[in-house]
Structure 1
Amino acid sequence: MNPAPIRWRLTDLQPRKGDLRADALEGLSARPRTLPSKYFYDATGSRLFEQITRQPEYYPTRIETAMLQQHAPAIARAIGPDVHLVEYGSGSGRKTELLLEGLDGVVAYTPVEISREALLASVERLARRFPAVEMLPVCADFTTAVPLPEPARPARSRLLFFPGSTLGNFERAEAVGLLQSMRATMGAGGAALVGIDLDKDPAVIEAAYNDAAGVTAAFTLNLLHRLNRELGADFDVGGFQHRARYCTRRRRIETDLVSLREQHASIAGQRFDFAQGEAIRVEYSHKYTDADFAAMCAEAGLRVAQAWNDADDWFGLRLLRAA
């Protein structure tokens, strides 16, 4: 009698608490002060982000999901059968489900996600939904080099999936570096499917990052709660305010935590003094034109093989291959 198959196996490269401490101390010591947005995604942050995607002002998830449904046959034709699907920043995996349904015979799925709780929850759900697909989750920071597990059955090619316009969270040089890494990871004959948020009316963009229900504000402020919980910091979270503004010149949302008064906080015995109105930069979210994005891809040794936009040109999907 054959043993029951292993449904999935986890590669756990989750960043250590020391990484969070070092990055927080470095960022808060800089001028202007910063905190890396990748640390938004602990268990609480991941739950709050899922709530953000359901807010009426937050258009990217709604539009991208509809586009994946609409263009699934064209994407499947372009990719071909028997792929190893690799996703950066997989979150809940809801969009991935559409790809797993639409592609022809996915061999394996490797989500790379920094939040262990979100990763395990999504893989458990997808393993039940797609029992024929080998699940090879990796808990890691995808912005660093991540060794990918090989599926038991060889795949014809790799498809890297990078939805949600997460690429826009990186400044240009970092984004180009990430695209170069993706080019190396996809290998010969591979491809990447990337979601990009397109430049549009600033009022529409700003509303998406300042929802009326205040979920995005809670998500941003949770970063300070996390420092308190995990590092024993003593931030008065109520003394800071979420602020997200669109910089037209740089075509990006700039998200800050703004000190509402003179105050101080300590982490690992190091004290930080904040003036009233002083900001901690916690995230960028760049918006692209076709020319911007094509130029970045070219710099990374990639080309846009196929492109899809929604009817209003608010959001785009781009299929990338080696130049």
Structure 2
Amino acid sequence: MSEADFKLQADPQFRADVLAGLKGPRRAIPARWFYDERGSQLFDDITHLPEYYPTRTETDLLKDCRAEFAKHIPAGAAVVEFGAGSATKTPLLLEAIRPDIYIPVDISGDYLRMSAEVLAGQFPDLTIRPVEADFSQDMHLPTDKPSEARLGFFPGSTIGNFVPRSSVDLLRHMRGHLGQGAMLLIGFDRIKPVEILLPAYDDAAGVTAAFNLNLLVRINRELDGNIPVEAFSHQVQWNDREARIEMHLRCAWDVQFTVSGKEFQIQAGESIHTENSHKFDLRSLRILLRAGGWTPVAEYSDAQEWFTLVLAEAAPFYNAP
């Protein structure tokens, strides 16, 4: 396939989101577009950095609480992991509850299939059916028995990447896909001192910076862009009012460029907002889950209360009179 053919086949939603997001005056591109094959690999590298506490803390929680999960989750349930990525934490859950089927869902198809192959080697008797999809959109879950119990797995505090209204919509969307009687195991990163939060998103080795800048590289490659990547730098800030980390690509000098034939200008000092990572206290995460159609059943936090895993059950749907 030629480079021109590849560009013609670029995801139309990616093109639409980028063109809309670059119009300004508050330029922003949804964080889900970080995850091409290179972006997925860089994020996996981030999770192993000394500054990046969420993966280590959540993994330890999964190890410590495996027996508790097995008490609440029905045997033989279908596990649906939203945003599976490299699925590094998944084996801990699969070993604990021994499901009949595992359905990883991720937007990065190549990386998803590679991860599924690794898990298939670890769990040869487990049915694994990867689904390449944006889990925030409509999709089909390929379970063999429509009536079987389902457990949604949403680790990593990925829910924090969505603004509150979108996160409620996403939780309701998951509730609809998983159905009545389903459960959800979801991770929440807790509010903590800024001196701990900022380095987790601005590491000394520059891996997160490369992850952020790779979005521009992807735009140039897939959307026939000529953005001068060297004009932009990775910037992280804490927004206390919104209780979130924000990642931006800050422009160092005035630039002009085109993407998919459309012309854009960005002035020195302006930025493209690329990611939010909301942090939670116990009250805010409980409110969010209930608004999204889930009732908390059990909560598991580390000793420092840096991270919390919540097991929730699908609340009944009520028809309006």
Q: TM-score, with normalisation over the residues of structure 2?
A: 0.93
For residue 80 of structure 2, what is the amino acid of its counterpart?
V
Q: How far apart are residue 80 of structure 1 and its match?
A: 2.1
From 219, 223, 230, the equivalent of 2:215 is 223
How many residues are matched?
Answer: 307
For residue 256 of structure 1, what is the amino acid of its counterpart?
H
1:299 maps onto 2:291 in alignment: yes
1:123 maps to what in 2? 116
From 178, 184, 188, the equivalent of 2:176 is 184
Contact 2:10-2:223 at 8 Å conserved across structures: no
Q: Partners of 1:266 and 1:286 in 2: how far apart? A: 32
Q: Partners of 2:218 and 2:176 in 1: how far apart? A: 34
From 103, 107, 115, the equivalent of 1:110 is 103
Query: 2:65 is paired with a residue of what secondary structure?
Result: helix
Q: Partners of 1:190 and 1:129 in 2: how far apart? A: 26
Query: 1:94 is paired with a residue of what secondary structure?
Result: coil
Contact 1:107-1:155 at 8 Å conserved across structures: no
Q: Partners of 2:214 and 2:106 in 1: how far apart? A: 18
For residue 270 of structure 1, what is the amino acid of its counterpart?
K
Contact 2:294-2:314 at 8 Å conserved across structures: yes
Contact 2:236-2:245 at 8 Å conserved across structures: yes
Q: How far apart are residue 16 of structure 1 and its match?
A: 4.9
1:316 maps onto 2:302 in alignment: no
Q: Name structure 1 gaps, 5 residues minimum.
A: 1-14
1:165 maps to what in 2? 157
Q: Could you tell me the percent identity over the aligned residues?
A: 42
Contact 1:88-1:162 at 8 Å conserved across structures: yes
Contact 1:309-1:316 at 8 Å conserved across structures: yes
Contact 1:112-1:137 at 8 Å conserved across structures: yes
2:202 maps to what in 1? 210
Measured against aligned partners, the alpha-carbon deviations of 1:98-123 in whole angstroms (never above 9, x if no partner) come to: 111111x3110111100111101111
For residue 293 of structure 2, what is the amino acid of its counterpart?
G
Q: Partners of 1:298 and 1:102 in 2: how far apart? A: 26
Q: Partners of 2:259 and 2:180 in 1: how far apart? A: 46
Q: How far apart are residue 172 of structure 1 and its match?
A: 0.1
Measured against aligned partners, the alpha-carbon deviations of 1:297-322 in whole angstroms (never above 9, x if no partner) come to: 22222211100001100000001112
Q: CA RMSD in A?
A: 1.3
Query: 2:204 is paired with a residue of what secondary structure?
Result: coil
Q: Partners of 1:155 and 1:164 in 2: how far apart? A: 28
Contact 1:191-1:319 at 8 Å conserved across structures: yes
Question: Where do residues 1-323 of structure 1 align in structure 2 (5 Å cutoff)?
Answer: 16-103=10-97, 105-151=98-144, 156-323=148-315
For residue 72 of structure 1, what is the amino acid of its counterpart?
R
Q: Partners of 1:290 and 1:297 in 2: how far apart? A: 11
Measured against aligned partners, the alpha-carbon deviations of 1:207-228 in whole angstroms (never above 9, x if no partner) come to: 1000000000000000000011
Q: Name structure 2 gaps, 5 residues minimum.
A: 1-8, 316-321
Query: 2:22 is paired with a residue of what secondary structure?
Result: helix
1:10 maps to what in 2? none
Contact 1:308-1:316 at 8 Å conserved across structures: yes
Contact 1:111-1:136 at 8 Å conserved across structures: yes
Q: How far apart are residue 154 of structure 1 and its match?
A: 6.6
Contact 2:234-2:250 at 8 Å conserved across structures: yes
Q: How far apart are residue 78 of structure 1 and its match?
A: 0.8
Query: 1:303 is paired with a residue of what secondary structure?
Result: strand
Q: Partners of 1:288 and 1:132 in 2: how far apart? A: 38
**Structure 1 residues 125 and 275, CA, compared in 2 at 3 Å: closer, same or farther?**
same
Q: Structure 1 stretch 264-273 or stretch 190-199: which is displaced more? A: 264-273
Query: 1:20 is paired with a residue of what secondary structure?
Result: helix
Contact 1:161-1:192 at 8 Å conserved across structures: yes
Q: TM-score, with normalisation over the residues of structure 1?
A: 0.92
Q: Structure 1 stretch 154-163 or stretch 272-281: which is displaced more? A: 154-163
